[in-house]
Structure 1
Amino acid sequence: MTTIYWFCLGGGLAFSLLLVLLDGLLDGALEALDGAIDAFDIDGVFDPLSFVAGLTVFGGAGLVLDEYVGLGTTPEVVIAAAVGLVSAVALHLVYVKPMKQSENSTGFSQAEYVGKTGEANTSIPASGYGEVVVKMGASTTFQTAASFDGSLIPDSTPIVVVEVARDGTLLVAPLTQEEHSPLAEAPPARLQTGV
């Protein structure tokens, strides 16, 4: 049993060291391990990091129990497995789960472009493609665009996205000066008379 403990401890430590040294290269290995663990996943509890940490702690606890306690093989394995499982769950609850919940996504769907305003970055010919600049949240995006009504849209013209084509091209229309003005959004002022 000592060999299995050493294998778990050494393998976990080696994997952790490789993870630190070759962070980007091991992403594929972690995804493969994550796929294998998904078969046993109960409500997102198991993940590769927690699993490897649990195996490492199992190996270390087994070696300590075998060397210093001498309970016998079965009790040692049960206790080492329990310590490894508790460690894996604790790591998941204290570190992995909060980190996953704190991840932000700046992604957005193509459908969210409809109604957004921007500016023609390059001229959009009547029957061709150009480029527009549209702000999406804190991001500025450059997108391929075509004229919605088939009219020429010169560069630097304020535009509005009317539709998104199936291929992802934004169909845009030019904004007139009144439509683009902040005053156009405000309701007209009314003259109040005291009667």
Structure 2
Amino acid sequence: MEALFWGCFVGGALFAIISALLGDLIGGWLDGLLDFTSLDFLKPVVTASVVTGFGGAGIILSRYTGLSAVTVVIFALLIAVVLGLIIYFAYVKPMENSENSTAYSEAELPGKVGEVTVPIPQEGYGEVMLKLVGGNTLHIAVSWDRREIPAGTIVVVVDVKDGIVQVSELYENQNSKELE
């Protein structure tokens, strides 16, 4: 019985190491293999955790307790299932839900507040940093009201034409250096 536990423990550990090193390659080969089952919890990380947990729990229980072989297998299975559930609900599910898009549309830019990083002359181009969903982005900018805008000035995007943001100085928050 201990050979079974060692096989599961070593096999699960090797699977975890190999999938960590070659995960993208193997994932491409097996892509969609288990889609017909619609079992969301059959992820490789959960499966490897259950198999490795079963083997490890079985080794420990058989060596350090006086339980019968059947009882050891039952407890090892219970421990493995609990470990798999913990891995699934504490790691896999939150990671699936944390996928964020960093994309934005130019239609979203008007009204955004930013800071001038390269001075904008009356007739010419400068640069503005805007805080968006994916982080800070830099945009080529012109002065909407044809005024010179120095670096460090807080501005608001009035319009976007041909990929160039048209900005105007935001007088109310002129002393604020924090972007909203």
Matched position secondary structure for 1:115:
coil
Residues 124 and 37 of structure 1, relative CA distance in 2, 3 Å threshold:
farther
Judge conservation of contact 1:120–1:155 (CA < 8 Å) in 2.
yes
TM-score with structure 1 setting the length: 0.51
**Displacement of 1:29:** 1.8
Residue 140 of structure 2, aligned match among 134, 145, 168? 145
**Displacement of 1:58:** 3.0
Match of 1:191 in 2: none
Q: Deviation digits for residues 71-96 of structure 1, max 9, x if unmatched?
A: 5xxx9988866653443124423x32
**Displacement of 1:107:** 4.8
**Displacement of 1:145:** 1.6
**Displacement of 1:55:** 1.0
Question: Is the deviation greater in 151-160 or in 110-119?
Answer: 151-160
Question: Is the deviation greater in 2-11 or in 76-85?
Answer: 76-85
**Displacement of 1:56:** 0.9
Match of 1:113 in 2: 109
Judge conservation of contact 1:117–1:158 (CA < 8 Å) in 2.
yes
Q: Percent identity?
A: 23
**Displacement of 1:9:** 0.5
Judge conservation of contact 1:7–1:59 (CA < 8 Å) in 2.
yes
Quick one: distance in 2 between partners of 1:164 and 1:47?
44
Judge conservation of contact 1:37–1:48 (CA < 8 Å) in 2.
no
Residues 49 and 7 of structure 1, relative CA distance in 2, 3 Å threshold:
same
Quick one: distance in 1 between partners of 2:34 and 2:126?
45
Matched position secondary structure for 1:45:
coil
**Displacement of 1:116:** 0.9
Judge conservation of contact 2:120–2:143 (CA < 8 Å) in 1.
no
Higher relative contact order (CA 8 A, sep 6+): 2
Matched position secondary structure for 2:130:
strand
**Displacement of 1:28:** 6.0
TM-score with structure 2 setting the length: 0.53
Judge conservation of contact 2:145–2:168 (CA < 8 Å) in 1.
no
Match of 1:12 in 2: 12
Q: Deviation digits for residues 98-150 of structure 1, max 9, x if unmatched?
A: 7548959695634543311223322457897542122448x6x2412243869
Count of residue pairs the alignment pairs up:
164
Q: Which amino acid aligns with 1:144?
A: H
Q: Deviation digits for residues 174-194 of structure 1, max 9, x if unmatched?
A: 425xxx2329xxxxxxxxxxx
Matched position secondary structure for 1:172:
strand
Match of 1:175 in 2: 168
Q: Any unmatched runs of 5+ in structure 2?
A: 174-180
Q: Any unmatched runs of 5+ in structure 1?
A: 20-24, 184-195
**1:29 and 2:23 aligned:** yes
RMSD across aligned positions (CA)? 5.2
Judge conservation of contact 1:62–1:77 (CA < 8 Å) in 2.
yes
Judge conservation of contact 1:159–1:173 (CA < 8 Å) in 2.
no
Q: Which amino acid aligns with 1:145?
A: I
Quick one: distance in 1 between partners of 2:159 and 2:98?
31
